[in-house]
Chain A
Amino acid sequence: MAGMTVSEIRDAIAGRRMSSREAVQGCLSQIERLDGQVCAFVSVAADRALDLADKIDARLAKGEQVGVLAGVPVAVKDNICTRFGKTTCASKILANFASPYDATVVAKLEAAGAIIVGKTNLDEFAMGSSTENSGMFVTRNPWNAECVPGGSSGGSAAAVAARMVPAALGSDTGGSIRLPASFCGVVGLKPTYGRVSRYGLVAYGSSLDQIGPMTRDVRDAALLLDVISGHDGRDSTSIDAPGTKSAAKLDEPIGGLRIGVAKEYLGEGLADEVRAAVESAIDVYRSLGAEVVAVSLPHSEYAIAAYYLIAMAEASSNLSRYDGVHYGYRTPEPDDFIDLYSKSRAEGFGAEVKRRIMLGTYALSSGYYDAYYLKALKVRTLIKDDFVEAFKKCDVLACPVSPTPAFRIGEKIEDPLAMYLGDVYTISLNLAGLPGVSIPAGQSEAGLPIGLQLMGPHLQEERLLQIAHAFEEETDWHTRVPPMADAQTA
């Protein structure tokens, strides 16, 4: 069971060849076997999952109508609120936080019959690119336990790669779905900003955050997107457009495809083996009849600076809600009311979260607002306009996800700026609010996965996934299994 995809499990359960209990039990066994090494899960809700599986099985036995994901086990990043268990954001400040409500994506998954088996690790409050900033523990890359899984949705990526679950939800503020997907050799989709409701996603950078699926193949990403997308009155930034129907359209011919290649994404700092993987991927599209078009995104080199100013400013504002009063951690013996805030926050937040709150507060403070925050918002306009121009000449852009494959644990943790610079190929997309997907497209000499990123125009997820799927039909990178998971499941 541990090798099966969402669509295979779904079909097996619907066809009564497998029970939902068997599917959930299969995941729990794999978690039991491997998560001591990988450390992908912050919490596992085994009893609840088995109970829900039995209910689905009973409904199927009675011939009742069930949802499109009936009985399929999934995992959810631990910054997405669930009424069961805890929602920790991998932060000490929320270590005991129990949400009084479900996120819209959780309600939609469960309404479709999916079964949430656990909550996955992340960089604290989704702030990071390696999952080393987790306030709980460090998650390891299933392909090489000495390497990071990427971040911030590192737990979700590692859980899917190690076959502990067939799919998981992540969130992407500056690459936090696509980067770990690339490092772990899975598919990670960041939808258009506003495509998926963020009600119940713990806020980090509100003009950038977006929830998306992480899966083993493109079909499963399409299946999950179709379930979680659509307008939600509870999220005031939700786009008033119907949900996607991408799974049904996946096999339509992609004819007349123009692939854009931006020179700014293949320049200095890109590792040779990543460049080679991206270039061979472009050749695959060429062999499918695609026209390859040279485009330019001239303001790309300013994206990291603009992104971090905007994300940190928004973070400093969003995280002011952690006050030691309403919920979360409170320092035991405050001197006075102000001390209650300052000590609770100092004791509850980790170093990276403090750094971002500090920098964001500075960028928004009197005298610096225009020079930093407003300047960054103006540069954001230039970056967004670059994409508008590029998409006049092509249907999608093909580029790397990260300059290198997964790096070693500890390698960048003492140098925050070096960590930020690794996000160079992912963050422009968040600034522009556009959809993008990372798909497995190669392997380094050291045996680490390399992802290809495809970026599309506003609300064009269906077309984007068709194009990603066409690549998957020609290649077998997405079928590679990390040795650790392979040996154990054989």
Chain B
Amino acid sequence: MPEQIDERQVRHIAVLSRLKLSDQEVATFSRQLSAILAYVGKLNELDTSNVEPTAHAVPIQNAFRKDEPEDPLTVDEALAGAPQRAGSFFKVPKVLDQDSA
């Protein structure tokens, strides 16, 4: 496991995470994330080559319910918290610019 996260990597992870970080935050996270990763590197002391992963403590699969209609939220209820709406839609800035259209 690599145990240092430099500022270039922090900026890359921030893009993946959709977080616009300040230069100050980039520097702080580089230091803090490196310290945390150095600590979790401790897991490498364990040989887990023959161990199955546990994603959930309780193995529940395919939780089905009866296919009976229920009353869903109304459009107005679903849009009540939207920062911007237009009619019965969520309103967002233009997604495609002219070059990519």
Question: Which A residues lie at the B interface, using CB under 8 A?
Answer: 96-98, 100-101, 192-194, 207, 233, 236-239, 299, 301-302, 304-306, 308-309, 316, 320, 323-330, 334, 336-343, 345-346, 349, 351, 354-355, 357-359, 361-362, 365, 368, 371-372, 374-382, 384, 416-417, 420, 430-434, 458
Contact = CB atoms under 8 A, between A and B. Distances in A.
Contacts of B9: 362
Contacts of B20: 339, 342-343, 345-346
B58 A237 contact: yes
Nearest to A342: B20
A13 to B, nearest CB: 33
Interface string B20-61: 110001000100110111011111111010011111111010
A82 B90 CA distance: 23
B93 A354 contact: no
16 contacts: A100-B73, A100-B77, A192-B58, A302-B45, A305-B43, A325-B90, A327-B83, A328-B81, A338-B18, A342-B19, A345-B17, A375-B44, A378-B54, A379-B51, A382-B51, A416-B32
Contacts of A365: 13, 16
B1 A371 contact: yes
A-B pairs, top 5 by smallest CB distance, nearest first, are A433-B57, A327-B81, A377-B53, A330-B83, A378-B48
The bracket for how many chain B residues form the interface is: 35 or more
Q: Is the interface of B mostly helix, strand, loop or mixed?
A: loop
B57 to A, nearest CB: 2
Contacts of A304: 39
B94 interface: yes
Given A100-B78, A361-B17, A377 B54 contact: yes
Nearest to A304: B39
Contact of B58 (A97, A194, A302): A194
A193 B56 CA distance: 9
A98 B25 contact: no
B80 interface: yes
A458 B60 CA distance: 14
B92 A207 contact: no
Nearest to A332: B83
Nearest to B18: A341
A98 B80 contact: yes
A101 B83 CA distance: 19
Contacts of B52: 378, 381
A207 B56 contact: yes
A340 B14 CA distance: 14
B48 A379 contact: yes
A371 B3 CA distance: 11
A123 to B, nearest CB: 17
Given A308-B40, A340-B92, A345 B35 contact: no
B13 A375 contact: no
Contacts, number: 173
B8 to A, nearest CB: 13
Given A98-B81, A365-B13, 10 more contacts: A96-B81, A207-B56, A237-B56, A239-B60, A305-B39, A336-B94, A349-B19, A351-B25, A354-B29, A416-B36
Interface of B: 1, 5, 9-10, 13-21, 25, 29, 32-33, 35-37, 39-46, 48, 51-58, 60, 63, 65, 73, 77-78, 80-84, 90, 92-95, 97
Given A238-B63, A359-B36, A372-B1, A330 B84 contact: yes
A381 B65 CA distance: 29
Contacts of A239: 58, 60
Contact of B53 (A327, A328, A380): A380
A337 B94 contact: yes
Contacts of A192: 58
A325 B90 CA distance: 7
B20 to A, nearest CB: 4
A381 B54 contact: yes
B40 A382 contact: no
A431 B57 contact: yes
A381 B53 contact: yes
Given A334-B93, A365-B13, A324 B58 contact: no
Nearest to B92: A325
Contacts of B81: 96-98, 100, 326-328
B60 A237 contact: yes
A135 B88 CA distance: 32
Given A305-B39, A306-B43, A357-B19, A362 B33 contact: yes
A101 B73 contact: yes
Contact of B82 (A302, A327, A337, A377): A327
A381 B51 contact: yes
A340 B46 CA distance: 43
A340 B63 contact: no
Contact of A359 (B33, B46, B56, B82): B33
A97 B83 CA distance: 10
Nearest to B62: A236
A329 B82 CA distance: 9
A236 B13 contact: no
